[in-house]
Structure formats: structure tokens, C-alpha cells
Amino acid sequence: MATFISVPLKKSSEVDLVKPLSKFVTATYPAAEEQADYIRSVEELNKLRKSALGRPLDKHESSLEILLRYYDQLCAVEPKFPFSENQLCLTFTWKDAFDKGSLFGGSVKLALASLGYEKTCVLFNGAALASQIASEQNLDSDEGLKAAAKYYQLASGAFGHIKDTVLSALNREPTMDISPETVGTLSLIMLAQAQEVFFLKATSDKMKDAIIAKLANQTADFYGDAFKQCQYKENLPKEVLPVLAAKHCIMQANAELHQSLLAKQKKRFGEEIARLQHATELVKTVASRYDEYVSVKDLSDKISRALTAAKKDNDFIYHDRVPEVKDLEHIGKAALVKATAITPPLSAKFTDLFEKMVPMAVQQSMSVYSQRKAETVNRLVGTMREATNLCNGVLASLNLPAALEDLSGDSIPQSIVEKARAIVQQGGLQSIEQLIRDLPELLTRNREILEESLKMLGDEESTDSELRSKFSQRWNRTPSGDLYKPLRAEGGNFRSVLDKAVQADQVVRERYNTHCEMIALLCKPEAELTAAIPSANPVKTLQGSEVVSVLRSQLAQLEEVKKEREGLEAEIKGVAFDMSSSFLTALAQDGAINEEALSMSQLDQSYGNYSQRVQASLRSQEELLGKVQASHQEFSKLKQSNSEANDREEVLKKLASAHDSYVEITSNLREGTKFYNDLTEILLKFQNKCSDIVFARKTERDELLKDLQQSIAREPSAPSFNVPAYQTNPAPTAADPNPAPRTVFVTKPPNHCALQSFLAGCDTA
């Protein structure tokens, strides 16, 4: 008997991995060289899938190697790309391995946007191909026996792994071939066949009868377990059940045969006959019920000869009492097989195509770390800029340093001249007004991109809802409304950001309107500027006074503080630290990344000293401003006070304040322009994400609609009229023909009840 069960492979539809994965790479990795390497790897992955699934595979180890290498690559790539329905959406379609379909309806298949589903189906094919390779081995050679045992154990482990992981991997009801019940049964069958190979090896090597009996008895147990598991599995080929029942009996018969030889050696001749009689009953039942599936002639002849000889010797010589089968001592068991643990890599030649790409967990941690770093830098820089603006505002309110330069009372203070020159060099009013005109266009463009993206989601969601209402429970895919929640939340955040940006733009415009008259004055030629500033009586007596010298010294110190602050800002912006190595180490050691703890520790280490220096700069400014205000108060008392001088000082203050406002407004407008341009890039990526998922959902929708139409076509039509009573009495007909078998076996359906009762009888010994 050498009948072994092998499993057919699942068939998959073609999937283009290149386009979606390349888009993700292009969006995520801006470096040209890195990007090109990863896109080449994506193309290699696509070729590997076609080699593993896009053609018929030979029943050879090289074909299995390709399948396992693709499975290993899927395991390696899973943490590096955001495979999910609402991110990187790839739909994989697989047919049920055991469903042959119908003339009109086609075979049962399932399409899911799940890499876990693809992994499960690829591993199923690996197990199926391993079972086929094992069944092709020459069991008359040691090499063939070893290979068969190896591949059956691999198949058992793979099917068992699917049983444990399929529901969590798919998160929905799978097709029958990969359901936990089916693959659990297949795992038991493969384990039983591996044990049978060890039994054949022990028999071939003429090992001790006690050992062979235990191996055979354990094999019978494994086949019995497999039979119990699959007796209600209507989706499996119908010939599987009788083969398992037959093998359970045959292996028990072998166990009894070898145990009888052991009894003979121990001169227990009655036990020898009882065991041989039980073995005879077992093989007779197999021959009468399952001869279409397995041949037991050789075994039957062997048992028959042994029983005839044993009876003859006992009748004429020993006269030993023959016990009942139920009174015989139970035969021991010896399991030499174990399902192979599925721990990638399974392929001996596996090399990760994306070895240099960091896992998504690290990418996400890096993204959050970058945000934390940006917040830290912005906080420190913002604090210093606020302090500088405060300083400039205080000095402008005191008309410093212009008041010290204007002791003559008729010429333009040098600081005002320099401020006017700086504004003209930066483009004056024309530059600032152009920036203000550009903002609404940039805002409108961003709003249009955002609204178009959300409209795509809304349109597809409406279609999905209509079809769900039409097909009810048959429309068994994730509702678009649930799937799009993260994208809608992201879109809501973008809306909020744009609304805040509009408010900020309005503040800038109002400030510009407040100062535009004085800014325009600063843009005029020096002669016109001089004429616009009121004259005042000279205060030459103050030029050599101590208070003026002290004020000038204090102002110089303030300028030095501001210059140091500019250098400090450049240092803070230039701090760089690669956190990816820290995150990778944490992921390797702990299996997870505590991003917050690692990031905060590094940020404290990198910016703690800068934070102290910023605070020291603020304290120095506060102290110096206090001294400047005190000195200015003394200076004001000494300065001649009249209406012309007051008017002149007021204009000079406004001019100084207008310059500072021009610098700040220009900076704000340029930052706003950059913000809108950067946001456009982000929104285009968001639009691409929406477009990709909507396209994937439309593809999935069309596939599901096609499957539903085929399913409806397979359903029997209900009668459209009542049948007359006289036509309801059935005429005698021939027995219904048995359905054609779906594997290499040719059979008729077994009697399950008879099999169960027979097995119960087999297990009594």
C-alpha cells in the first residue's frame, strides 16, 4: 500500500505590485539613490511573485524554494510598508483550492486588501506543493523516505501555522480551504503520512518487531485523529475520508501483525493467534469496502500465511488458549514525527530585497521624533525672536538710537537712513504687496485639492452604501465609511490648519495697513524723507554728556546680545542626530519602540544646553533694557522739551517702528508663502492616498459584483408555478449517479455511519 494524499494548489489572480509600492517609495524616500534602489527591489518583488504564482510549478524542490522565498519576502516586507485597506491598499484574489466551480458560476474565490491573506495563501501553496513533492518520492530508497518524511512534516507545520493565524490575519471569514478546521485536518493528515514513512523505513531496515508495532500503532492513531477531524468536511475531496479510514485499519493491522511476532518470540501462541485474527478482520474490511482506494493484497496474504501457520502449530503442539481481542494488552506507541515550526526564513537562499529599508515602526517613530524636534527648535527660536521683537519695540517707543543721533535737530538720524535703505533693498512696498496678493491664490489652490480629495471619498462611499443596501449581507466587505475614517480625520485636520492660516493672514494684513504709510515714507528718496520729518532746535549741549555715552554703551551691548542670538539660532537649527539607529536597536531588543522616552531623552541631551543659553540671553536683555529705560529717562529730562522736538521724535519713532514691522511682516508673508507651498505638496500626497484607495475599492467592488453575479447564477431557480397534485408522485428511476471525483482517485461516496462504527470496532484492541 502506497496511497498518499496530496493537496492541490490555490490559484491567484495577477497583481501589479510595482505601481503602488513605487508610489509609496517615491513619496517616503526623497533621496534619489535610495529611491532608485528601492524601486528596483519593488520590481524584483513583482518578478518573484510572478515566478511563484504566475505559472504552473513542477513538483520539485526548486519550485518549492521559489514559493518559500516569496513567503519569506512577504514576511520581511510586511513591517516596512503600510499594507492596509486605508493606506497602501493592494487587493489579492485567490480561488478555493478544492472548489472546482460550475459550468456557469465559476469557482469560489475571495479578494481581500490584506497582505496577511496573501501570506496565508502562499504558505498554503507551499504546504500543498510540499505534500505533492513528498508523494512523488521513491519510497524504496533511503533518500526518498527521508525526503518524503521531511516534506510531509513541513506541510503539516505550514497547515498548522495557518490554522493558528488565519483568522487574525484575515479578520473575516476565509474560504473553506484555508479555514482553521480544514487546514487543521490537513495538518493531521500530513503528520500521519510522515509517521507512516517512518514506519516504512523501520520495516525496510528490518528493525525489531516491538518498535515497528509501536510505530504502526502511532500511525493508526494519527490517521484516526485525521479521520475524526474531516468526517464532516464536505468541501474536501470525497475520497479523502475512505483513504483515512482504510489507512487507520491497515496500520492497526500492521501493528497487530508485528505484535503477534513479538508474542510468538515470547511463546504466547494464543495471543499470537488472537492478534493475527484481529489483523485479518481489519484487512478483510478494507478489501471489501475500500479496495478502490488502497490495495491490501500483499498484507492480507502475509497475515493469512502467518495465521495458518500459527493455528496449525497451536492445534498440534501448544494448545494455548486464544484470548478475546478486548482482553489483549494494548500495543505501545512511538511518535517519531513533529510538525515543522514555521519560523521565517524558510528558504535556504533567502536575501531580503529591502534589507536597507527600515521597518514602518521605525519610520513612524522617526516621523514623530522629527515633529518633536521641530517643536523644540521652534519653541527655542520663537522665544528668542519674541524677545528680539520686544527689544525692538521698546527701543522704538523710546526713539532709540535715533534720539542720540538727532541731537542736531535737522538732519536724518543715521539709523533711520540705514533702515530706509534696508527696506528699499528688500523691494519696498511693491515686494510686500506682491506677497500679500499671492496668498489668496495659494490658499484657494490648497482648498481645491483638499475638497476634491474628500469628494472622491464621498462619491465612492455613496456607491458602496447603495450596493450594501441592495445586496445586504452578501456585500461582505468593510464599509467605506469605516475605512475612510482616518482619511476624513486627516482631511478635517487640514481644514482646521487652513482656517487658522486664514486668520493669521488677516492679522498680517491688518498690521501692514497700520504701518504702510510710514513704510511708504521710508521708501522715498532721502531728500523727500528729510522734508517729511519735522525740524527741531538743536540740543548740542547733550552731545558730550555722560548720559549719552552711557546710553550708547548700553545700546551697543543690546546689539551684541541680538547678534549672539542670531548665531545661537543658527546653531540650534543645525543640530543633527540620527535616531534611526536607536529605534532599530530598541525594536531588535524589545520587539517594540518606546518612541516618547527615547526621543525626549535625546532631545534633552541635544538641546538642554541651548535652552539654558536662551534663558541666559533673555535675562541679559531684560537687565540691559531696564538700564536703557532708566538712562533714557535721565536723557529726556536733560533734553530741551518743545512741541517741534516732540513732533519730530514722534515721527522718528513711527519710522523706526515701521521698519521693524516691515521686517516682521515680510518674514511672516514669506513664511506663509512657504507654508502654503509645503502644504500643497502634503495635500497632493493626501490626494494620491485618497485616489489610490478609491481606485483599489472600485477594483474590489467590480470583483465582488462579478462574484455575486456568478454566485446568483449558480443558485437554483425557484419554481414559478404550482405543480399539479397528479404530477407530484415520482416515477421509479435509476439511482442517481455518483459525482465525478475531484482528484486522482476514482470512487463513490463512502458510508460515513458504517465507517464510524467500523472504526469504533478497530479501536477496541
C-alpha separations of 255 from 204, 226, 386, 569, 683 in Å: 15, 18, 91, 86, 72
Burial level of 444, CB count in 10 A (0-12/13-18/19+)?
A: exposed
Can you point out the beta strands (E) in 384-524? none
d(CA 130, CA 191): 12
Q: pLDDT at position 752, please? A: 41
Q: What is the mean pLDDT of residues 100-112?
A: 66
211 Cβ contact list (under 8 Å, min separation 6): 202, 334
With bands split at pLDDT 50, 70 and 90, how would you rate the model's confidence at 656?
confident
The x, y and z cell numbers of residue 180, run together, are: 482553521
State whether residue 92 is helix, strand or coil.
strand
Q: Name 111's bridge partners.
A: 93
Quick: pLDDT tens for 381-401: 999 989 998 898 888 888 787
pLDDT at 474 over 90: no
Instruction: Write the DSSP assignment of 575-621 as a string of letters.
Output: -----HHHHHHHHHHHSS--HHHHHHHHHHHHHHHHHHHHHHHHHHH
Cβ contact 125:5 at 8 Å:
no
DSSP 317: I
- CA pseudo-torsion sign 584, 588, 592, 594: negative
Q: What is the mean pLDDT of residues 563-569?
A: 90
pTM of this structure: 0.68
Cβ contact 311:273 at 8 Å:
yes
Q: pLDDT at position 184, please? A: 94
d(CA 262, CA 329): 12
Quick: pLDDT tens for 665-713: 888 888 889 989 999 989 998 898 888 888 888 888 888 888 787 777 7
Q: What is the mean pLDDT of residues 595-616?
A: 90
Quick: pLDDT tens for 218-241: 999 999 999 998 866 677 888 899
- Which has more confidence, 475 or 635? 475
pLDDT at 554 over 70: yes
- Which has more confidence, 88 or 644? 88
pLDDT at 445 over 60: yes
Q: What is the mean pLDDT of residues 492-504?
A: 91
d(CA 157, CA 162): 9
pLDDT at 103 over 60: no
d(CA 591, CA 585): 9
d(CA 348, CA 350): 6
Q: What is the mean pLDDT of residues 168-175?
A: 85
Amino acid (one-letter) located at 343: T
Instruction: Write the DSSP assignment of 108-168 as a string of letters.
Output: -EEEES-HHHHHHHHHHHHHHHHHHHHHTS-TTSHHHHHHHHHHHHHHHHHHHHHHHHHHH
With bands split at pLDDT 50, 70 and 90, how would you rate the model's confidence at 641?
low
Cβ contact 410:645 at 8 Å:
no
pLDDT at 376 over 80: yes
Which stretch of DSSP H or E encloses residue 58? none
How do the domains of the chain map onto residue ranges? 10-206+341-357
d(CA 453, CA 172): 29
pLDDT at 18 over 90: yes
d(CA 213, CA 358): 54
With bands split at pLDDT 50, 70 and 90, how would you rate the model's confidence at 308?
very high
Q: pLDDT at position 728, please? A: 45
Q: pLDDT at position 9, please? A: 96
With bands split at pLDDT 50, 70 and 90, how would you rate the model's confidence at 210?
very high
pLDDT above 90 coverage of the chain, percent: 41
Q: Nearest Cα to 494, choosing from 660, 367, 676?
A: 676
Q: pLDDT at position 362, please? A: 84
- CA pseudo-torsion sign 640, 641, 645, 646: positive
d(CA 69, CA 47): 12
Q: What is the mean pLDDT of residues 585-592?
A: 80
Instruction: Write the DSSP assignment of 507-565 as a string of letters.
Output: HHHHHHHHHHHHHHHHTS-HHHHHHHSPP----GGGTT-HHHHHHHHHHHHHHHHHHHH
C-alpha triplet 285, 288, 292: angle, nearest 5°:
120
Q: pLDDT at position 475, please? A: 86
d(CA 280, CA 302): 10
pLDDT above 70 coverage of the chain, percent: 88
- Which has more confidence, 544 or 603? 603
With bands split at pLDDT 50, 70 and 90, how would you rate the model's confidence at 747?
very low
Q: What is the mean pLDDT of residues 170-187?
A: 90
Superfamily of domain 10-206+341-357: alix/aip1 like domains (1.25.40.280)
pLDDT at 721 over 70: no
Which stretch of DSSP H or E encloses residue 386? helix 360-397
d(CA 283, CA 299): 8
Backbone phi and psi for residue 94, each to the nearest 5 degrees, phi listed first = -135, 145
Q: Nearest Cα to 454, choosing from 692, 691, 675?
A: 691
Q: pLDDT at position 544, please? A: 54
Average pLDDT, the chain: 84
d(CA 271, CA 329): 9
Q: pLDDT at position 449, please? A: 94
Which stretch of DSSP H or E encloses residue 95? strand 92-95
